[in-house]
Amino acid sequence: MPQFSAPCSTQTRRKKKLLHVFNAFFDSDKSGTVNKKDFEETVQNLTKLRGYKPGDAKYKEVEDIVMKIWEGLQSKADANNDGEVSKEEWIEMWDQYAKNPANAADWQNLYCKFIFQLEDASNDGVIDEEEFSSVYSSFGLDKQESIEAFHKMAKGKKEVNFEEFQELWKEYFVSEDQDAPGNFIFGCYICSLSKHSHSHSH
């Protein structure tokens, strides 16, 4: 009996993960679409988190990377060229990625590296639960839920290095296995979505 319900539930699970990233990290103004303005807000959020000021070299570095990610995302996902990426366009783009993750777009690889470096606040090449949860709480996710997500992602280890993170990243966007450790690299995707749906009826 389970095999009949599996395709539906697994497909939905992966979609939930994709929408979690869209809602929590890309759609800054919660408009339901992603545009350049959302990325400008992300620059503000991240530079504030790290204490970088306009004019600092590090501020410029974050701004350049975030805008490169936006340009890459727009060129890959904005099918109707309206300057915005809808949820449907976002899901379609990651569906294409899932068919061949080894052939990821430059901006996707850049985003993966950027998230890791953002979390690795101490710059020691690994991320721990405090670094991980601090970044996600700055995006409005619950800190305790993020700590629990880190433990699931790290499979009991205290730290995760970039090589491991890349594999977990791939798992997040591709896997439909509910127990995949990679499901938790963006914090608690289920918690975030239930809160999002309660506060946004549409």
The average pLDDT across 107-113 equals: 95
DSSP label at residue 103: G
Tell me the one-letter amino acid at 88.
E
DSSP label at residue 22: I
pTM: 0.84
Q: What is d(CA 94, CA 26) in angstroms, rounded to the nearest whole number?
A: 14
Return the ∠ at Cα 111 (arms to 170 and 115), rounded to 5°: 90
Task: List, for residues 19-39, the tens digit of each pLDDT value.
Answer: 999 999 999 999 999 999 999
Tell the burial category of 113 from Cβ atoms under 10 Å away from its Cβ (0-12, 13-18, 19+): middle
DSSP of 156-185, one letter per residue?
T-S-EEHHHHHHHHHHHHH---TT-GGGGB
Task: List, for residues 44-71, the tens digit of each pLDDT value.
Answer: 999 998 899 999 999 999 999 999 999 9
Task: Name the superfamily (CATH) of residues 2-199.
Answer: EF-hand (1.10.238.10)
